[in-house]
Structure formats: C-alpha cells, structure tokens
Amino acid sequence: MFKTFTLDRIVDEQLTETEGKRTFYIIDEKGDTRAVWGTTLIDEKGSPVSITANKKREHPLIQCLFNSKIKQTINIEFTQYNAIFERKDEPVNAPFSVEEIAKEMQQKPVRVGSLVAFEEV
C-alpha cells in the first residue's frame, strides 16, 4: 500500500537539554490534514539529530518526514511494514526505541523493504 503525503509544516519543541518533540503537519492524497510527531534527540547546538516515532505504526512515516523538506511530496510503501505490525485500534502513547522496533521486526518472517521518497518537480 503506497501512501502519498505532502509535508506542510514542522514545529519543534525542546523538552529537555537533550530531548525534544517534532510535530509534522502533513496533507494526504485526499487533501486531509493531520499531525504526527516523534521524540527527538537534540545535539549540543540544539538541533534534532534523530527521531523516534510515538507509535510503532508511524515509524516509517516519521523517519521519512524527518529527512524531508517542507512542501516536499513523499510516497511511502507500507505493505510489508503492515504485515509485521498488525493494526490495533488501542491508543499507544509511549515512545518506542529503534531497538524495540528492530527486535519486534526480527521476530517476524517478513523483511521490510526500503522506504521510497521523492520530490515532485
């Protein structure tokens, strides 16, 4: 399942000296707007250097958005990721580490392919 999003804006909040929150406001292919966010690791200059998704299912999207520019359109292929992380309609509010996500992925028989990102010209 390919999904298309356009990054509309980014809002950063510094929570501690080394941790922050980055919120991405995105528009999907239907024109619907939503916000997704992750916890960032901040370097000594105050710049975010990495991000961890708040929800496991948003991990590919958050990682791709972290490396995207405002007004950039991205396509993300979720099929293999969805096969590994079954959708549960219960709220998940605790951030997950990359290690936890990798461990869960290793316990599944499906390999996750690379994310696809592009910028429309």
pLDDT at 77 over 50: yes
Inside any domain, residue 114: no
Inside any domain, residue 43: yes
Structural domain harbouring 76: 2-106
Neighbouring CB atoms inside 10 A of 81's CB total 20
- Chain centroid offset of residue 110 CA: 20
Nearest alpha carbon to residue 62 among 115, 102, 1: 115
User: C-alpha distances in angstroms, 11 versus 47, 79, 83, 86?
Assistant: 13, 29, 31, 29
Inside any domain, residue 95: yes
Inside any domain, residue 117: no
How does strand 73-77 pair with strand 48-53? unpaired
Domain count within the chain: 1
Tokens read off for 80: 């293999």
Inside any domain, residue 111: no
Percent of the chain with pLDDT over 70: 65
Inside any domain, residue 14: yes
* Confidence class for position 104, pLDDT limits 50, 70, 90: low
